[in-house]
Amino acid sequence: MTGALFRRQWPAVACGALLWLMAFGAGWWWAPADPTGVSRAPKNGDWDLYTEILARNVGVSAALFLGVVTFGVMTIPLTLLTGILAGYYGGQGSAVLGAEGVVRHLLPHMPLELACLALAAAAGLVPLVAWARVGLTGRAGEPAGGTVPRGVTGFVARSGFPDACRLWGVAVAGLIVAAGIETWVST
C-alpha cells in the first residue's frame, strides 16, 4: 500500500523533499560557526522529554501538511521557514557539540526526522503538484480508488487529498519513532 502511494505521489514527494532539504541546508549554512553564547544543557531521556519532542515535531509537520487546505500554496513558505530554522538550529548545535557530539547526539535520530518532515511538506504539496501535473501533461494522476466520482467528492479525489492524508500519516508514524530515538538514544 505504501509503495503504491509513493509511486502515485512521487512528484510531490520529490518536490517536498527538495524544497525542505534545500531550506534546511541553507539554514545550516547560515548558522554561526562560532558557538560563543550558545550552551548545551544535557537532558535525561524520560516521557516528558519524549512528549515535548513529539509535540514539537508533529506540530511542525501539521503546519506543513495544512497547506493542503490552500491547495499546497501555503506549504511553500512554511517549508522554507521551518527548514531554514531547523537547519540554523542544527548548525548551531553542531558548532557547540563538535564532530563527536554530532555523531552521538544528532546522527541517531536526525536522518529519520528530516525525512519525515520533508514527507509532511510533500503531503502539503500534493494538491499543488496534482494541479501542475494536469496543467503540464493534460492528465491527472491516478487516484487510489481507480475511478473518480463527479462533484465535490471527485474534486477532492482528483486533488490528491486522500493521498496527502496518507503521506502525512506515514510522516507522523516516522516522527513517533524519531522522537523515541531522540529521547532515549540521542540524549
Residues 6+ apart with CB under 8 A from 187: 42, 43, 44, 45, 49, 105
**What is residue 61's predicted lDDT score, i.e. its pLDDT?**
97
Helices (H), 46-144: 47-65, 75-105, 110-137
**What is residue 139's predicted lDDT score, i.e. its pLDDT?**
67
Per domain, the residue ranges of the chain are: 6-29+44-184
- For the chain (length 187 residues), average pLDDT per consecutive 10? 88 96 96 78 88 97 93 94 95 87 90 97 94 77 58 62 94 98 91
**What is residue 149's predicted lDDT score, i.e. its pLDDT?**
58
118 close to 54: Cβ distance less than 8 angstroms? no
Give the separation between CA 155 and CA 70, rounded to whole angstroms: 14
C-alpha cell at 176: 513517533
**What is residue 105's predicted lDDT score, i.e. its pLDDT?**
87
24 close to 90: Cβ distance less than 8 angstroms? yes
